[in-house]
Amino acid sequence: MNVIYLDQNVVIALAEKSKEAERVSRAREAVLKQVAAGVAIFPYSEIHFAESAAMRPESRTRIGEFVDQISAGYRFAEGKYLRSQQFKDILTGSKTSFRSRSAVFPDLISFVEN
């Protein structure tokens, strides 16, 4: 499974169907196809929450529903957790893991509900 981070501005462009150019439309379909095939997920992060907070409620819901679809319910661990874990690895002399399983986890609550 490929784990891919999409910046908020890309998520917004892909979610806003009414403003799609042909290139954005093709990208949206490719993303949805990868998720449907179980080949890739596009988790969200705390940054997505922060940047969505200022949106109008209807926009936030529309974006959130798209995020829920492409994330398959996964989110990135908070940056402070990852930095903390890496610091602990350095102190203990352990190898730091950069695998997706150490940075991505299933969220029990959807993006929209969060």
Do residues 63 and 55 touch, judged by C-beta distance below 8 A? Answer: yes
The mean pLDDT value of the chain amounts to 84
**pLDDT grade for 102, boundaries at 50, 70 and 90:** low
pTM: 0.76
The residues, any chain, with a CB within 8 Å of residue 106's CB and separated by 6 or more, are 73, 74
In eight-state DSSP terms, residue 96 is P
pLDDT digits (tens, 9 = 90+) for 4-54: 999 999 999 999 876 568 888 899 999 999 999 999 999 999 888 889 988
